[in-house]
Each structure stands twice: as structure tokens, then as C-alpha cells.
Amino acid sequence: MAYLFTSESVSEGHPDKVADQISDALIDNFLAFDTDSKVACETLVTTGQVILAGEVKSKTYLDVQQIARDVIKKIGYTKSEYMFEANSCGVLSAIHEQSQDINQGVDRANKEDQGAGDQGMMFGYATNETADYMPLALDLSHKLLQELAEMRRENSEITYLRPDAKSQVTLEYDDNNKPSRIDAIVISTQHDDFDEEALMLSKIKKDIIELLIPRIIGKYPQYAHLFNDKIEYHINPTGKFVIGGPHGDTGLTGRKIIVDTYGGKGAHGGGAFSGKDPSKVDRSAAYATRHIAKNLVAAGIADEILVQVSYAIGVAKPMGIYINTYGTSKVSLSDGEIAKKVEDIFDMRPYFIEQRLKLRNPIYSETAAYGHMGRKPETVTKTFKSPTGETKSLTVELFTWEKLDFVDKVKSVFGL
């Protein structure tokens, strides 16, 4: 039976994403100068104010105020009329030392015995309905906002855009569980003030439909067949959206965990990613389970796979691994039997996850907007500067959990 499914995304200027990006910039700077840093940093942003709080164990010292301001400037909050501006906002730090009670459960004399930084369950998901093995509605939602942000920075075709925005895509699936068309698109974008609200609304809707959508179709021709003249568009449906960003809505780290993962497909364990170093399995194990799910689907084990792993705080070995192929398995094994083989292929102890995915590097700022999953693995050089004037340039691999580097091994183990 045909059905509708919806996912949403938010731009880098959304207040919750501003908070995520500041928290992950702090992680990157700590790891750049001390790879053994233990960090759990939360950020709150509101009108003219940034508040940093959390626990840190590190050998390095950072100018956290300047790091926050640099992030805000890069996002685009650079005008006083936004009521939240990089150079003038207040930045209050309430970061303190990590609890020794927690640390003693994580650090071990033998690094391989490193315990999980917290209890909990983490999920990874993959589907072959897109080339990057992501759910299509979320993929489109992200791409709409990434392209809108590009247009804002170009400041040529559309000149009134401000940083805050949200998108939502509703897809119709056919009887074979395949996406057949886009049913509805919702986009709310912050904008400069207009003299006439009616003129403003008509112009924004016209620009979105006639400028943004054709750019999406041109850049991603594989999705062209999904667009049709029956799409229901809701563009800035509440009307005026001048007041936005942290002035319009207080932002907090970790409040967009479904946007960060699979848009409501699969499952989520509830733990946020941003602001956490990789000893926190909320983050590292979620990346590792995505890596497993993607490689399994790419190897042809199933069309769609959910992977769950769970931990006890301070214990290295997971409580268990669960696999759900949603009845799409291509191998003559039960989901439980698939899980047993997965345990043999992927070592899910925290230290081995860190090593396999190279997570002790400053690679997290790039994850903090437009999703942690489904992104392109690439090698980049990043430069960091400490308050003492020390400059460090590091070449790092981004989105290592998106690599299809275990496909051959999976095929071998499963006899494919």
C-alpha cells in the first residue's frame, strides 16, 4: 500500500545548529592540541549571548570566546540587526574539570581496555534508496538548505536571505516501498525586512520555486523524476520571518538529533553527538553502527538495515549487537545470525572504534550542520591557533564512517 513519509532539516544558522557548531569547534581545538582530551561541552545561544558549559580533561588551554565568535562569524551572523552578532555578543564560559568518578571508568592502563564513556544504546541505519545509502526525504531536505545557504553567500540571485532556515520534504512511496514522487516541500527562511508583507511572501515563494528548485534538479539530476507540478509548496507559511536565529529562538546543543541522523527512519538511541569527544559512545558507536549498516547494504546483505549496539559505562565490550533487515535480507541467514557474523567483522570496543574510524582527530566541525551521516569522505588540511600563538596544521580524514572499506570483507565472510 502506498504511503507518505516526511523528514526535515535545519540550516547552519538555525539556533540549535549554531550551538552544535560552537560545541564541535571546541572539540576540534581541544583534540588538535591534545588528542587525549576528554570533552563534553554544551552551548546555549540566545539574544546577544552565548553560554558554554561542560566538563573537560585536557593538557591544552583554549580561548573559547574567540572560537565561539569565529564560528558565529563563519555562519553569517555579522550584522547588528540580527540581535546576535559575532563581535558583540557576550560569551560566558562555565566549563570545568571532568569528574574523576567518570574518568576512572574510561581510562585504562591498557588502552585496548578503555571503557565506554556512558551506558546506552546507539543505532546505525542504511538503505539503498539513494547513492549515499541515506533515506531520500532527509537527503533532499539537507540538499535544499545547503543550496539555499550557497545562494545566500553568493548574494546574487537572492539578496535578502538571512542565516536561519528550515526545510521539510514529504515523499510518496509506492506499493514496493520505493519513493515515487515528492508530495510536499516546506521551506521557512529568515529574510531581510520588506516594506510590504504580501510582496515579500510572493517574491520569496517565487524565488524558491523558480530559482532554488531548478538548481537542485540541475545539481542532482538523479532526483529530477521526483519533482512534479503537483508538489504542494509551503514557503514561509507563517508569513514574516525577519526575527530569527538565536534572537528568535534559544538554541541548545544536541536538540536536532533526528536531523543529525536519519530523519526519523530506522531508530535513534537518544544521545546527541556534538560537543562530545569519541570516548563518548553516544557519538563514536553511532558512527560505527552507521559504518556497519552502510557496508552491509553496499555488500548486498539487504536493501535496508538497522544496527543497534549497547554499552555499560566503564565496560569495553558491548552488551550486544542487534540487526534488523526489515525482511529485505538477500542471504539465507536470520537477522540474529547476521549479527553474530557482524560481531566477528567489526570490533565494537570503544578503543577499536576510535582507531578504525580515526576519531581522535579534529574532524567534528564539519559534522555539525546538514547531518553527520551520508556525507562525503574526504581528506583535508585544517589549521588551528592556540592562545599562546602556537599554530598547528593537521591533515585529517573527514566522515570516515561513510567509507565503503569493509565491503570486500563483508562479502567474503558472508560468501557473496
DSSP class per residue in 102-130: HHHHH--SSGGGPPBSS-EEEEEEEETTS
Q: Which residues are annotated as a binding site for Mg(2+)?
A: 16
Q: Is the dihedral of CA 264, 270, 272, 276 positive or negative?
A: negative
* 277 Cβ contact partners less than 8 Å away, ≥ 6 residues apart: 27, 30, 31, 37, 38, 39, 40, 283
Are 322 and 358 in contact by the 8 Å Cβ rule? The answer is no
Distance of CA 341 to the CA centre of its chain: 28
User: Distance between CA atoms of 279 and 31, rounded to whole angstroms?
Assistant: 12
Q: Which residues are annotated as a binding site?
A: 14, 16, 42, 55, 98, 164-166, 240-241, 249, 255-256, 272, 276, 280
At 41, list the grid cell: 561541552
Other C-beta atoms within 10 Å of 408: how many?
Answer: 12
Cβ-count burial 55-90 (b if 16+ within 10 Å, e if not): bbbbebebbbeebbbbbbeebbbeeeebbbbbeebe
User: Distance between CA atoms of 54 and 39, rounded to whole angstroms?
Assistant: 8
* 88 Cβ contact partners less than 8 Å away, ≥ 6 residues apart: 48, 80
Q: Which residues are annotated as a binding site for L-methionine?
A: 55, 98, 249, 280
User: Distance between CA atoms of 197 and 185, rounded to whole angstroms?
Assistant: 22
Q: Which residues are annotated as a binding site for K(+)?
A: 42
Are 145 and 10 in contact by the 8 Å Cβ rule? The answer is yes
**C-alpha closest to that of 74 among 62, 84, 86, 83:** 86
Q: Which residues are annotated as a binding site for ATP?
A: 14, 164-166, 240-241, 249, 255-256, 272, 276
**C-alpha closest to that of 358 among 132, 30, 35, 62:** 35
Distance of CA 283 to the CA centre of its chain: 11
